[in-house]
Amino acid sequence: MSERLQPGDVAPDFTLPDADGNEVSLSAHKGRKVIVYFYPAALTPGCTKQACDFTDNLSLLADAGYDVLGISPDAPEKLGKFREKENLEVTLLADPDKKVLDAYGAYGEKMNYGKTYMGVIRSTIIVDEEGKVEKALYNVRATGHVAKIIKDLDI
């Protein structure tokens, strides 16, 4: 498990396929703020709620200068089904080898019902216009998280 990012760190650049197989890079968003959120799995209740919350607030966030990228270990095909089923507008990226999840400290040891296992740590990293970490939030809740981000960022 890699170290968690801290405010002021340079956000690791990445290029990942989106739900249509097109490559999306963090560096292509330079000059805009980016909310990068990591979630365990498409088409699951908590992740659906979170993705729908981001979609519902996408224009508000965009008007405030933020782009939103959601990253999970799912394949692009599954992300496409997720997007279609839930009418998602947020950009979903596939990281099946978990390299980006690991680079951002969003993959590691988790505990559930007394069992320890490796998995995706629901996390949100806010990257500024220069590519530096503005906020690094780990072990966030799926429900209510987007509202908290909006409040914390004074949007």
Active site members = 47
- Burial environment of residue 3 by CB neighbours within 10 A (0 to 12, 13 to 18, 19 or more): exposed
| Contacts with 99 (C-beta within 8 Å, 6 or more apart), sequence order | 14
Write out the two tokens for 28.
Answer: 């292509």
Give the Å distances, CA to CA, from 131 to 28, 30, 32, 91, 138: 10, 6, 9, 18, 19
